[in-house]
Amino acid sequence: MAIDASGVKIEDRPFDQVRQEAIDQLIMNYSHGIISAEAFERRLDIATDAKSHQELIDVVADLTLLPDSQYQQQRERSFSPRYQSGNDTRNEKMLCVLSSNQQRGQWLVPAEINIINVLGSVELDFTEAVFQHQHIVIRVNNWIGSLNILVPEQVNVVSNMFNIIGSTNNQAQSMGERQAPQIVIEGYSILGSLDVKLKQTMKEKFSSFANQFRQMFGFDKK
């Protein structure tokens, strides 16, 4: 059995913790060329969709290579939100009138973002953003405009919008851990729309990380 069964009974351990162990072992063995890309994708599907401890035990039962310190460090860098101290930015204003405005890449996220959007299109992509604060407030005045917010799964998002013939769709509510950044969106939308979406699902991120880690050891995706 590849999953550590010493100590507390496997059935009594937190399910998400056991799932993460199984996924880590799948990535470790795939990155070292022990299982094929097809086998990795198939087993990753099983691990992410598993409903019982036994499914997780079975999916890695024949794998003996365990994650080492190098893997843990690389995973921590890849899956933890980026924080940076210094050059503290408290407030940023965005005015978008009959135009479009985008924030992407490794941009510094201030503590507060004020958006006035009139007949425009605004996109905030937090996937690679660098956070200076754990708590971020986005204040929105949206008039017949669209606001799209893209986040990774380790960032929490709470929406407190007031809509008048408008719509708010939050598909990324409170998915991160306790120390993860929390984005609170508040304000109003008149004949406008607000969409909060995951830029990349956790399964997609695991696959991407696995291929990057595999390349470190001289293997291609095949």
Of 12-16, 28-32, 85-89, 194-198, the range with the lowest mean pLDDT is 85-89
Cβ atoms of 82 and 106 closer than 8 Å: yes
Residues 162-191 pLDDT 10s: 888 877 777 665 555 666 889 999 999 999
Cβ atoms of 146 and 170 closer than 8 Å: no
Q: Looking at 75-192, which runs of residues are DSSP E strands?
A: 82-83, 91-97, 100-103, 108-109, 112-118, 121-125, 130-131, 135-143, 146-151, 156-164, 167-170, 182-190
Q: What is the pLDDT of residue 176?
A: 52
> Residue 96 above 60 pLDDT?
yes
Question: 109 pairs with which residues across the strands?
Answer: 131
For all residues of the chain together, what is the average pLDDT?
85
Cα–Cα distances in Å, from 40 out to 10, 27, 45, 153, 172?
Answer: 23, 8, 9, 22, 26
Which of 109-113, 207-211, 214-218 has the highest average model confidence (pLDDT)? 109-113
Instruction: Name the residue with higher pLDDT: 88 or 181.
Output: 181
Q: What is the pLDDT of residue 87?
A: 67
- The domain spans of the chain are 10-81+202-216, 83-198
- Region 20-41 average pLDDT: 90
Residues 40-58 pLDDT 10s: 999 999 998 899 999 999 9
**Helical H segments across the chain, by residue range:** 15-31, 37-49, 53-59, 69-79, 202-216
Q: What is the pLDDT of residue 42?
A: 92
Q: What is the pLDDT of residue 164?
A: 84
Which of 28-32, 81-85, 114-118, 128-132 has the highest average model confidence (pLDDT)? 114-118
Is the pTM of the predicted complex or chain greater than 0.75? no
Q: What is the pLDDT of residue 213?
A: 80
- Using pLDDT thresholds of 50, 70 and 90, give the confidence band for residue 16: confident
% of the chain with per-residue pLDDT over 70: 88
Q: What is the pLDDT of residue 204?
A: 77
